[in-house]
Amino acid sequence: MGSLTGKVAWVTGAGSGIGQAAAVALAKEGATIVLTGRRSAPLKETAAMIKKAGGASEVKPGDLMKAAAVTKIAKEIEKKYGRCDILVNNAGLNILNRQWAKLTPADAELVIDGNLASAFYCTTAVLPMMRKHKDGVLIHTSSVAGKVPSLLSGPAYSAAKHGVVAMSHTINMEECVNGIRSCVVCPGEVATPILDKRPVPITPAERKRMAQSEDVGDLIRYVACLPPHIVINEVMINPTWNRGYVASLQRGKS
């Protein structure tokens, strides 16, 4: 048996990238996985990967930027399983025209809702279930841009991811007395589909040097498997070949 046997994990943004990798890793530890994202087809691909690995999962598509949709899925999870032990708040997005000179109110709303509001909705939906069991782990995918404001990621994305970091810490401040733990993961560059939205294209060679989805997925698995008396409040994970560091070194030599 895996260390998460008998646990129920809700993974958002589970159709690709970090969410998919985390879902598979948690399933291998024995957790039953509820897979959520906006499109059914990628979620079904993740479910097939989990089944091949011997795990169990269920596909529940939905638009997490809509509070009503989040509430509906959470109620279905509680009705079927009676619990949600792990929430992986991974859903997120970015846009191509992200600079202030190009940013529109509609695009700002999209990025903030997709990265911050959705995380709040899912968190508020699962906390009552976790309080009932005096146990629960919430793991939120933020970004290095959630620690250091980044023009590369754009102002809306940076602001939203800073909000995710703050949200996670306040959960620990209030819910520690209920046995609930919250961890915010701040990855640097990870070779996921969100890179396709970069204004400057990323080459295949550059992607190979970045952190991979499986690297972050395994970190999420590790955090979820920690004993109940321990919380990792915040963790950063970066590729060794850090393009920001390398660019600074090159500027220093010029």
CA distances 66 to 26, 105, 127, 205, Å, are 26, 18, 18, 37
Any residues with CB less than 8 A from the CB of 41 and at least 6 apart, and which? 15
**81 in catalytic set:** no
Q: How far apart are CA 186 and CA 160, in angstroms?
A: 13
Q: State residue 193 phi and psi, 5-degree precision.
A: -60, -20
- Cβ atoms of 193 and 170 within 8 Å: the answer is no
Catalytic residue from among 81, 121, 157, 222: 157
Burial of 66 by CB count in 10 Å (0-12 exposed, 13-18 middle, 19+ buried)? middle
Q: How far apart are CA 237 and CA 235, in angstroms?
A: 7
> Residues 209, 195: contact at Cβ < 8 Å?
no
Q: Give CA separation, 170 vs 163, 174, 189, in Å.
A: 11, 6, 26
Beta strands in 50-116 (DSSP E): 56-59, 86-89
Round to whole Å and give the CA distance between 136 and 131.
8
The answer for residues whose C-beta is within 8 angstroms of residue 55's C-beta and 6 or more apart is: 24, 27, 28, 30, 31, 32, 33
Q: Which residues are catalytic?
A: 157
